[in-house]
Chain A
Amino acid sequence: MVRFLLKRVMLAISVLFAVSVVSFLLFFALPADPVTGMCPKNCNAERLERVRTELGLNEPKVQQYADYMKGIFVGRDLGSAQGGECAAPCLGYSYVNSEAVTDTFARVLPVTLSIVLPAAVLWLAIGVGLGMISALRRGSLLDRISIGLTLTFASLQLYFVGAVLLLIFVYTLKILPTPRYTSLFEDPVEWARGLVLAWVTLALLFSAIYARLSRAQMLETLSEDYVRTARAKGMPKRQVYGKHALRAAITPIVTIAGLDVGTALGGTVITETTFGIQGLGRTAVEAVRQGDLPTIMATVLIAALFVVVANMVVDLLYAFIDPRVRLG
């Protein structure tokens, strides 16, 4: 198990290293001149050159990459134009936001985590639960209602469902406040009231997919010989479904869930835009729109980190669910 874990960690580090190199090169490859946005008023060639020197952009690329990495692990001095000393993990300075990129992320990450994690719990609980029940009650009214609802929600768009929920609960019934983020540690009730619409919207859409996937997986598993054998041998239904069938059916769902959660943590831009909440997704989109390269780079890195970590968690869960994985 330790060997398995080490292999996965090494692989994750390799992926992150590759992403960091690529995202760093993006800084130079994109059509936007990284210096123009950072140049003082009335830019001219002389000023542009001065800024380039101040920012170390005339140094060899390898040196610049090393400095960037050094900033992430031990911090570095960015100079007066970029706010001075930048503590680790230093991701550079955003001239658009007038602050260290790390400060931006320290602010927006809890927002995105607060949207995605509770929503993921909801969509997994509703989706997998509904899918399993539908599979076990195949052909029943419940199954048909479930299929109908999931088809409906799976075909809707997040910005539409979100807007409808806003219209009903905020603008018409006025029973919920305008969506906003309040720290969980500051006021848990406001935290939940401010984000509940985002959770429900995400849960409705995502759970539809999980319900269909779970139902299909469960039905397939239930038709396996070993399930039939277990039932023929007189094993109680709960044990057959809960211990044997569910365990086998859940494996692909864990894979998809890992990817979905990882990707969503990298930015739920549509959700954040629909509800006017500033999280990682909107920050990333605005950074792209405004050519805010240090923020773009950091966003890419952090999104990659989430996907890699989510995949590692999935791998570990695999190992837990299916012992054959550990041996492989």
Chain B
Amino acid sequence: MRARRVTALGGAIALMVSLGACSENTGDDTGGVDTTKPRTGAIATDPKDSLGPAPEVPGAAKGGTFYILRENKISHMDPQRIYSFAGLMGSQLYARFLTTFKDDGKGNVTLVGDLAETPGTNVNNDCKVWEFKVKQGVKFEDGRPITSKEIAYGIARSFDPDLTGGPTYLQEWLVDSPQYDTKWDFKANKTSLPPGLTTPDEKTLRFEFNKPRCDLPFAVSLPATAPLPADKDTGVNLDNQPFSSGPYKFTKHTPGVEIVLERNEHWDPATDAVRHQYPDRFVWSLGADQAAQTNRVLAGTGNDAAAVATGGVPSELIAKVTGDPKLKERMIVAATPNAYRLTINTARVTDLSVRQAINHAIDRTSITKNLGGPYGAVPMTTLLPPTTLGYKQFDAYPAGDSGNPEKAKELLAGKTQNLVLLTSDVTSSQERATQIKNALEKAGLTVTIKTIPEDGYLDTVKKKDNPYDLWVDSWAADWPSGASILPVLFDGRGIKAEGNSNTSQLNNEALNAEFDRILALDPAKQADEWSKIDERLMKETAPAVPLYVEVVSLAHGEKAGGVFIGSIFGWPSFVDAYVKQ
């Protein structure tokens, strides 16, 4: 789980859809994004949910080549090193994990077993011991069966300090230390496994932790649990030629130019509840920028007719696409789980009524309008984004999207406070800061904007003793559980001098205890609790002002079918993709 700033996404254009956001344009005035739509999220309890084959996609046909357009190289393709949206979604084609999300693209997700028969067994119901049974019939691209040994080896190699880039949850949880690679040296122990990870037999993988790790079923949905036979481990070179366990395998990779994936004949759809194998091949075509990608798929010349432009429709082409009904049909518009909030430094703004007044005064309409309206951002009033399992909409300070300065003045009751609003020197951030200042000053607050260079922004706001009262933060969780959002952002017991995710510096004993209580629950039971504590946080402490979630607008060629925006990472999903014949 990381704070993600758009500019720090390795060139990736923000993409994604919320659970409720639709993956096909509905043609309404809001750009097709509907955050009020009912959404569901669950962890599968019936092993049948984890079995394949995945339901057929209506209208889908086998054959053809599906093209994926992208500007930049994907930072990593080696599953143990993947941590980018493109990598996470792209790896589903050639790698399988212990668990994965069954996502219908309409707001309904279920965590199911992928290589595992179920999303895991909480052996003692204390989240300290977990077991996963490997499915029968799962195979690598060379036909070798996948057993617990290869999955364990994959996890073990993620301890290798040479293999940079990937998430570190499993490693840190297993050795119970952030210094995981010094606690267990992969290179010196290649034939053994990290402490806490065992394979009692070829079918069983067992995790034993010192502390409860109730989010393990989610954490093992990340690509670090992709299997690898030890004899296929080429170290850092695996990044350019991963060994497949999924429905497609690498047949050609020209870094920065093209990746060709062709069918893996050893993949058995009966073992896979999520993926299909419709196209003969997928081709990642790299290099074209955002505008070129969109122009290409809209023109649909040759191969581009069966292509999706992952860069998003640039703002200058939005009017052209939305103004033509035929083109608009080929546009996917969706809200992402990347949630932005106006952080209030509670160590400096100590008066709750001031924080509540700020919440009443904020004008979300002007901010989202400046971001492109319904094609750029959707206002939100909760700390949890709508993608979160168990999400419930509420508005602790109902002032409408344009704010209610009068109500804010009433709360302030004549009190005045000079607030320092920090912004980076990026133009859009500066404009947003001005809009925030204008809204707050209408309520009688005095706001001074302080601008600093973009590259030092995150480091600054994460410092405990920073001299600022307000700034904009964003957060996108690695899995759709409140556990990966609220305790990370608002549990005050871990506040340190630098590098704080709890940038509000909220430290409320009652809420901290509540975080502990919920975290100790079985993950299936946590979902509703996170939504409740979200509302408590806002009403009782107002540590931030929820602002908006990003919206992505993508275009695809007329022969490209089955693409939807994944609910978890908000990037296009290709598991249902097909070429219209």
Which residues of A line the B interface, CB within 8 A?
A: 38-42, 44, 46-47, 50, 80-84, 95-99, 103-104, 107-108, 166-167, 170-172, 174, 177-178, 180-181, 273, 276-278, 282-283, 286
A272, closest chain B residue (CB): B287
Q: Does any Cβ of A come within 8 Å of B191's Cβ?
A: no
Q: Which of B162-195 contact A (CB under 8 A)?
A: 162-166, 168, 178-179, 181-182, 187
B171, closest chain A residue (CB): A41
A107, B255: Cβ atoms closer than 8 Å: yes
Known: A83-B237, A174-B301. 19 other contacts (CB 8 A): A39-B164, A41-B165, A42-B178, A44-B179, A46-B179, A47-B161, A50-B161, A80-B187, A82-B236, A97-B73, A98-B78, A103-B255, A104-B256, A107-B257, A170-B296, A177-B302, A276-B71, A277-B287, A278-B287
Contacts of B161 in A (CB 8 A): 40, 47, 50, 81
**Given the complex of chains A and B, what is the CA–CA distance between A103 and B71 in angstroms?**
20
Given known pairs A98-B239, A166-B295, the reply for A41 and B168 (CB within 8 Å) is: yes
B292, A276: Cβ atoms closer than 8 Å: yes
B301, A40: Cβ atoms closer than 8 Å: no
B289, A278: Cβ atoms closer than 8 Å: no
Can you list 19 pairs linking A and B with CB atoms under 8 Å apart? Answer: A46-B179, A46-B182, A80-B162, A80-B187, A80-B236, A81-B161, A81-B236, A83-B235, A97-B73, A104-B255, A107-B255, A107-B257, A170-B296, A170-B301, A171-B295, A172-B299, A174-B301, A277-B287, A286-B72
**Given the complex of chains A and B, what is the CA–CA distance between A277 and B256 in angstroms?**
10
B164, A95: Cβ atoms closer than 8 Å: yes
**Of listed A99, A166, A178, A181, residue having the most chain B CB within 10 A:** A178
**Given the complex of chains A and B, what is the CA–CA distance between A245 and B257 in angstroms?**
47
**Given the complex of chains A and B, what is the CA–CA distance between A178 and B292 in angstroms?**
10
**Given the complex of chains A and B, what is the CA–CA distance between A177 and B299 in angstroms?**
11
Contacts of A278 in B (CB 8 A): 256-257, 286-287
Q: Does any Cβ of A come within 8 Å of B198's Cβ?
A: no
Closest chain B CB from A116 CB (angstroms) = 17
User: How many B residues have CB within 8 A of the partner chain?
Assistant: 41
* Set B75, B240, B289, B303: member contacting A99, Cβ < 8 A: B240
A41, closest chain B residue (CB): B168
Contacts of B178 in A (CB 8 A): 42
**Given the complex of chains A and B, what is the CA–CA distance between A109 and B412 in angstroms?**
65
**Given the complex of chains A and B, what is the CA–CA distance between A273 and B287 in angstroms?**
8
Contacts of A81 in B (CB 8 A): 161-162, 236
Contacts of A38 in B (CB 8 A): 164
Q: Does any Cβ of A come within 8 Å of B360's Cβ?
A: no
Contacts of A181 in B (CB 8 A): 257
A39, closest chain B residue (CB): B164
Q: Does any Cβ of A come within 8 Å of B304's Cβ?
A: yes
Contacts of A107 in B (CB 8 A): 254-257
Q: Does any Cβ of A come within 8 Å of B288's Cβ?
A: yes
**Given the complex of chains A and B, what is the CA–CA distance between A167 and B161 in angstroms?**
47
A40, B240: Cβ atoms closer than 8 Å: no
Closest chain A CB from B12 CB (angstroms) = 13
B 243-287 to A, binary, CB cutoff 8 A, 1 in contact else 0: 000000000001111000000000000000000000000000111
**Given the complex of chains A and B, what is the CA–CA distance between A276 and B286 in angstroms?**
8
Q: Does any Cβ of A come within 8 Å of B330's Cβ?
A: no
**Of listed B76, B285, B292, B304, residue having the most chain A CB within 10 A:** B292
B239, closest chain A residue (CB): A98
Contacts of A39 in B (CB 8 A): 164
* Set A99, A171, A180, A273: member contacting B255, Cβ < 8 A: A99
B288, A276: Cβ atoms closer than 8 Å: yes
Given known pairs A40-B164, A178-B296, the reply for A80 and B256 (CB within 8 Å) is: no
A283, B256: Cβ atoms closer than 8 Å: yes
**Given the complex of chains A and B, what is the CA–CA distance between A38 and B574 in angstroms?**
31
Contacts of B237 in A (CB 8 A): 83, 99
Contacts of B289 in A (CB 8 A): 273, 276
B 65-106 to A, binary, CB cutoff 8 A, 1 in contact else 0: 000000111011010000000000000000000000000000
B236, A98: Cβ atoms closer than 8 Å: yes
Given known pairs A181-B257, A278-B256, the reply for A98 and B162 (CB within 8 Å) is: no
Contacts of A108 in B (CB 8 A): 256
B301, closest chain A residue (CB): A174
User: Which A-B residue pairs are the 3 nearest by beta carbons?
Assistant: A276-B288, A171-B299, A98-B239
Closest chain A CB from B14 CB (angstroms) = 18
**Of listed B73, B165, B301, residue having the most chain A CB within 10 A:** B301
A178, B164: Cβ atoms closer than 8 Å: no
**Given the complex of chains A and B, what is the CA–CA distance between A108 and B256 in angstroms?**
9
Contacts of A98 in B (CB 8 A): 76, 78, 236, 239-240, 255
B164, A41: Cβ atoms closer than 8 Å: yes
Contacts of B235 in A (CB 8 A): 80, 83-84
A97, B162: Cβ atoms closer than 8 Å: no
Closest chain B CB from A306 CB (angstroms) = 20
A178, B302: Cβ atoms closer than 8 Å: yes
Contacts of B76 in A (CB 8 A): 98
A43, closest chain B residue (CB): B164
Closest chain B CB from A278 CB (angstroms) = 5
**Given the complex of chains A and B, what is the CA–CA distance between A282 and B256 in angstroms?**
10
**Given the complex of chains A and B, what is the CA–CA distance between A228 and B236 in angstroms?**
70
**Given the complex of chains A and B, what is the CA–CA distance between A273 and B288 in angstroms?**
7
Contacts of B295 in A (CB 8 A): 166-167, 171
Contacts of A96 in B (CB 8 A): 75
**Given the complex of chains A and B, what is the CA–CA distance between A46 and B165 in angstroms?**
18
Closest chain A CB from B13 CB (angstroms) = 15
**Given the complex of chains A and B, what is the CA–CA distance between A83 and B256 in angstroms?**
18
A173, closest chain B residue (CB): B301
**Given the complex of chains A and B, what is the CA–CA distance between A167 and B182 in angstroms?**
56
**Given the complex of chains A and B, what is the CA–CA distance between A42 and B182 in angstroms?**
12
**Given the complex of chains A and B, what is the CA–CA distance between A82 and B182 in angstroms?**
20
**Given the complex of chains A and B, what is the CA–CA distance between A95 and B165 in angstroms?**
10
B 318-348 to A, binary, CB cutoff 8 A, 1 in contact else 0: 0000000000000000000000000000000
**Of listed A171, A177, A276, residue having the most chain B CB within 10 A:** A276
Closest chain A CB from B178 CB (angstroms) = 6
Contacts of A82 in B (CB 8 A): 236
A83, B72: Cβ atoms closer than 8 Å: no
**Of listed A39, A41, A81, residue having the most chain B CB within 10 A:** A41
Contacts of A276 in B (CB 8 A): 71, 287-289, 292
**Given the complex of chains A and B, what is the CA–CA distance between A107 and B256 in angstroms?**
10
Contacts of A84 in B (CB 8 A): 235
**Given the complex of chains A and B, what is the CA–CA distance between A286 and B298 in angstroms?**
27
A171, B301: Cβ atoms closer than 8 Å: yes
Contacts of B72 in A (CB 8 A): 286
**Given the complex of chains A and B, what is the CA–CA distance between A44 and B177 in angstroms?**
13
**Given the complex of chains A and B, what is the CA–CA distance between A50 and B304 in angstroms?**
47
Given known pairs A171-B295, A174-B299, A278-B287, the reply for A42 and B256 (CB within 8 Å) is: no
**Of listed B166, B187, B257, residue having the most chain A CB within 10 A:** B257
